[in-house]
Structure 1
Amino acid sequence: MRRSFTKRTTRKLINPMLEEEVSVTAPLNLEEKIAFIKEGLFLTDDLTIRDLVFNDRQIKLMFINSIVDVNNLQSNVIKPIQENPFGEIKEVVSGSEMINTTDLQVGLDALVDGYCLLVQEEESLFLISAPKSKTTHQIEPENEKVIRGSHLGFSENVMENVQYIRERITNRKVTVKYSHVGETTKTKYALISISTLTDPEIAKTIEDRISFIQADSIQSPGYFEEFLEDNSFSPFPQYLNTERPDRVVANLMEGRMALLMEGSPTALIFPVSFFSFFQTSEDYNTRSFIASFLRLIRLFSFITTLCLPAFYIAVISYNYEVIPVEIIFSIKSSLEYLPFPPLIEAAIMQFTLELLREAAIRLPNPVAQTIGVVGGLVIGTAVVDANFVSNTMVIVVAITAISSFVIPSNELSTSVRILGFPLMVLAALFGFFGIVIGLMITLIHMSKLKSLGYYYLYPIAPLDVKALKDALVRVPIWMMKERPRDLKPLYKWKITNPRGWENNE
């Protein structure tokens, strides 16, 4: 299996997603036809096969259950055949569009377009149209809103979620593997990949890790995350959570895998790098210089959230010389009557901010907005007037809070706020030297950290200059010709003829 994939990738001019297949019209028996179709769909688990009898001969009804309307199929195809088991197929199944062909390859391509396939011993095949209706509901994820782009989010039904992905990638190379986990709950989940792009080692690694899970109940992707991640005690998330089908599709096309679970609208994407958490769907719906500017702001907000309170403590406690004299007098006057040292002052404000944030999440939206206003204005003004906290500290904490909300990933945003506390302690003990030590330890940890065995800080460590095109900034899409090399995709090219029209002018 591995050798055949390697051989395919040596054909650099052929995209396996678009590669033309040879028509198969040679006479095959029924079992050989079924085997050919299964292999052509890469043994995907959402391929359903029904056994029927017509004219005293066995026939097979094949369809992809995630994109076919099963009720329509039952009433317009299966039931008429069962009630009228003799005659001509075209006369018995008359309520649906039907195409007659002898080419198995045509049948394969039609299956991913919402057709079902009637296979019989005879050479001819029948394609019957029975697609599910396109997605009509618009449930936009609350934590991943965009201005431009799709406003559709996943539901809590794993079959529907697979449908959303297949609607966006109408290609038979999309492979879905269903299974169950949890010895008591038997919760259904789906692993999704593109067989001609994803490195088989990724699929093998994740399947092996899942096979070792022995637990009574696995109820959400968050359970999977803790069972499967490389370092459970790292503050940094190692898998990407998303509720957006378009984001899952974009990562599948990079050569990654996704996990969907029954009862959860969240997909897990793996493996990912640190910079994946700063990419949003909107980055690719706006022009490159705007997307690059916004991405740099997100990265800057990460540094601000991590370092700003510690920087303030270091300046107040040790390093006055780094700020202008005029500002020193202003800060000193606001600190004159405070009963707490800067570390306690910062910790109180940060802890209060976390209380307000948790309260806003748990309460209904109208009440949560009121809590935000009360917390930001009333409490902030009161603690300053009571000389518990300085005006400068209120400003620092407010900027830190706003910066943390700029980070697209809620999990990473929470992690970086938690990391700010030990950094504040180091700043209070050693000043700027303590901040440098804390940042060095964090950077070393991130350099050693892996996501499913792949380096977390790629493409910075190890350095890959070409991959920087979609890391710190985003260059124009037509310049991002290759997929990330650390994923070892079976086909590396995303774009083979960028802006080809320029050659004709």
Structure 2
Amino acid sequence: MRSSKHDHKSKKTNIQISNHLNSNIENIKKYLSNTSDLSTRNLSFHNKEIVVVYLSTVVNREILEKQVIQQLINHPKETILNTVAIQEVKVSNSFDECLLSIVKGNTVIFIEDEKAVFILDTTSFQNRAIKEPNNEQNLRGPHDGFVESLQTNINQVRRRISNPNFVIKKLSVGSESDTSLAVLYIDTIANENLIKEVLRRLSYINADYIYSPGNLEEFIEDNPYSPFPQMLTTERSDRVAGNLMEGKVAILTDGSPTALIMPITFFSFYQSPDDYNSRWMVGSFARLIRLVSFLIAISLPAMYIALVSFHFEIIPIDLVFTVKGSLQNVPYPPLVEALAMQTTLELLRESAIRLSSPIAQTLGVVGGLVIGTAVVQANLVSNTMIVVVSLTAIASFVVPDSEIGTSVRLLGFPLMFLASLIGLIGIVFGLSIILIHLCKLESFGTPYFAPFAPFRSSDLKDTIFRAPAWKMKKRPFAPLPKKFKRENNSRGWENDEN
């Protein structure tokens, strides 16, 4: 397997560390383009001149001063390794590694007449406090989420999985950015072929800059032209831990609070941590509501267009006059109505996301009440269309994952066009194409529409409904885990005579 970290030619300077301090410092300044935040300190250590090099904007000044500079001046010991009070100290002979370490916030010490360089971990990047993600809130269960620090995010997952077989593999991608990422999995549960495939795809990424998991996802997903996401994105550490225990693999990226989980199935997007934090009947009911919302969001506007354009006889007789009355003064066909209202809804949604919360709430009231009432009174849109679009919007926001919600809204547009052309037959035709695509799609070798295609009855316990936890004695078959059977999933106390 290729190493993504060492295949990028732009990282190689082909410069060797010199015995002369001035030569090393000049090379550092040259390859850092004489950046103004590059700082150097000339000191003496055991009658030898040394130079401490660092970037003042990303180094921890307090740690550098107290645990490095003062120790070198006031308490010199046999070696620098024994003198500095830094937990992580590395000795290197590579100029490229020194250059990269300085950029990442470490401190480098060059010694006169020596080619060995000391790299000290003095990084100081500001991180926000841990709090619950706004787009994945839970009623019950933990309320902490990922932040932009890779180490902090790994710490959160490790706190939930105290398992010696929990493996973390760190890699770097991006020839210019050298973005750090971590691949997480349980060695005794995750399938070896799955792990190798994830690492293989990561090793072939050849890009200047990987700035987010969404950007990374495009390089490694199976079908980049599919409207359906093939990896689950989450900001919750408990959700990552739960998926790892099922034999899946997660990827964390430094600088982003989002994790990628693979392989994934269609039904995973409609599962929420609340399903498992609540009793099984409550969780099953909530999950069924979400799956029904998928059908509503994708087909309700198309159904409305088909009924009022081609199949008025299907509408109950008591509603025919109401629908006809709302449509008779509207000068446009139902398709134009639906497209206009759906586009307006998307505009309101995007503007609400970009604005601050108080203004976004005001915008929602203005858009929902004032604009909705005005367009009906102006006979631009019918009352029935307002109801249809409102129900569609509510259904699309029920899904716990925003990415699949966006995909559902996009798929609604071609169904509307098909319904305006040939009515219900067009809707059936469009839904058939979507179903065929779902059955054909894969995520890292796992069937996307499992356990229905291919059908596996044992996995139905955690799909449309959620069976009681003590009934789910086996892990999902889709990721092909090494340990298919769960341990101690039982109510053994019922058979205990004592």
The aligned length equals 379
1:162 to 2:158 alignment: no
Q: Write the letter of the residue equivalent to 1:195.
A: D
The runs of at least 4 aligned residues of structure 1 exceeding 3 Å deviation read 82-85, 135-138
1:447 to 2:439 alignment: yes
Q: Identity of paired residues, percent?
A: 53
Relative to structure 1, the CA distance from residue 380 to residue 150 in structure 2 (aligned partners, 3 Å threshold; closer, same or farther) is same
Q: How does 1:377-388 map to 2 (within 5 A)?
A: 377-388=369-380
TM-score, normalising length: structure 2: 0.74
1:231 equivalent among 214, 223, 234: 223
Q: How does 1:10-25 map to 2 (within 5 A)?
A: none
Instruction: Give the whole-Å Cα distance in 2 for the aligned partners of 1:202 and 1:293.
Output: 33
Q: Write the letter of the residue equivalent to 1:394.
A: I
Q: How does 1:59-458 map to 2 (within 5 A)?
A: 137-458=129-450
Q: Write the letter of the residue equivalent to 2:190.
A: T
Residue 504 of structure 1 and its aligned partner are, at CA, apart by 1.5
Instruction: Give the whole-Å Cα distance in 1 for the aligned partners of 2:489 and 2:342.
Output: 51
SS state of the match for residue 397, structure 2? Answer: helix
Structure 1 alignment gaps of length 5 or more:
1-70, 86-134
Residue 496 of structure 1 and its aligned partner are, at CA, apart by 3.4
TM-score, normalising length: structure 1: 0.73
Q: How does 1:484-495 map to 2 (within 5 A)?
A: 484-495=476-487
Q: Write the letter of the residue equivalent to 2:339.
A: A
Q: Deviations over 1:379-404 (max 9, x none)?
A: 00000000000000000000000011
Instruction: Give the whole-Å Cα distance in 2 for the aligned partners of 1:136 and 1:499.
Output: 42
Instruction: Give the whole-Å Cα distance in 2 for the aligned partners of 1:333 and 1:374.
Output: 26
Residue 495 of structure 1 and its aligned partner are, at CA, apart by 3.3
Residue 484 of structure 1 and its aligned partner are, at CA, apart by 1.1
Instruction: Give the whole-Å Cα distance in 2 for the aligned partners of 1:142 and 1:136.
Output: 14
Instruction: Give the whole-Å Cα distance in 2 for the aligned partners of 1:208 and 1:136.
Output: 33
Q: Is the 8 A contact 2:150 2:254 kept in 1?
A: yes
SS state of the match for residue 478, structure 2? Answer: helix
Instruction: Give the whole-Å Cα distance in 2 for the aligned partners of 1:385 and 1:495.
Output: 63
Aligned counterpart, 1:4: none
Instruction: Give the whole-Å Cα distance in 2 for the aligned partners of 1:172 and 1:360.
Output: 45
Q: Is the 8 A contact 2:129 2:147 kept in 1?
A: no
Instruction: Give the whole-Å Cα distance in 2 for the aligned partners of 1:462 and 1:224.
Output: 29
Aligned counterpart, 2:496: 504
Q: Is the 8 A contact 1:209 1:228 kept in 2?
A: yes
Q: Report which stretch shifted further, 369-378 or 494-503.
A: 494-503
Relative to structure 1, the CA distance from residue 136 to residue 286 in structure 2 (aligned partners, 3 Å threshold; closer, same or farther) is farther
Relative to structure 1, the CA distance from residue 291 to residue 352 in structure 2 (aligned partners, 3 Å threshold; closer, same or farther) is same
Instruction: Give the whole-Å Cα distance in 2 for the aligned partners of 1:301 and 1:412.
Output: 12
Q: Is the 8 A contact 1:478 1:498 kept in 2?
A: yes
Residue 149 of structure 1 and its aligned partner are, at CA, apart by 0.5
2:471 equivalent among 449, 464, 479: 479
Structure 2 alignment gaps of length 5 or more:
1-62, 79-126
Residue 437 of structure 1 and its aligned partner are, at CA, apart by 0.1
Q: Report which stretch shifted further, 490-499 or 312-321.
A: 490-499
Q: Is the 8 A contact 1:221 1:261 kept in 2?
A: yes
SS state of the match for residue 493, structure 1? Answer: coil
Q: Deviations over 1:331-369 (max 9, x none)?
A: 001111111000000000000000000000001111111
SS state of the match for residue 367, structure 2? Answer: helix
Residue 170 of structure 1 and its aligned partner are, at CA, apart by 1.1
Instruction: Give the whole-Å Cα distance in 2 for the aligned partners of 1:323 and 1:432.
Output: 13
Q: Is the 8 A contact 1:478 1:495 kept in 2?
A: no
Residue 493 of structure 1 and its aligned partner are, at CA, apart by 1.5
Q: Write the letter of the residue equivalent to 1:391.
A: N
Q: Is the 8 A contact 1:138 1:151 kept in 2?
A: no
SS state of the match for residue 170, structure 2? Answer: strand
Instruction: Give the whole-Å Cα distance in 1 for the aligned partners of 2:196 and 2:397.
Output: 36
SS state of the match for residue 495, structure 1? Answer: coil
Residue 325 of structure 1 and its aligned partner are, at CA, apart by 1.0
Aligned counterpart, 2:39: none
Relative to structure 1, the CA distance from residue 163 to residue 292 in structure 2 (aligned partners, 3 Å threshold; closer, same or farther) is same
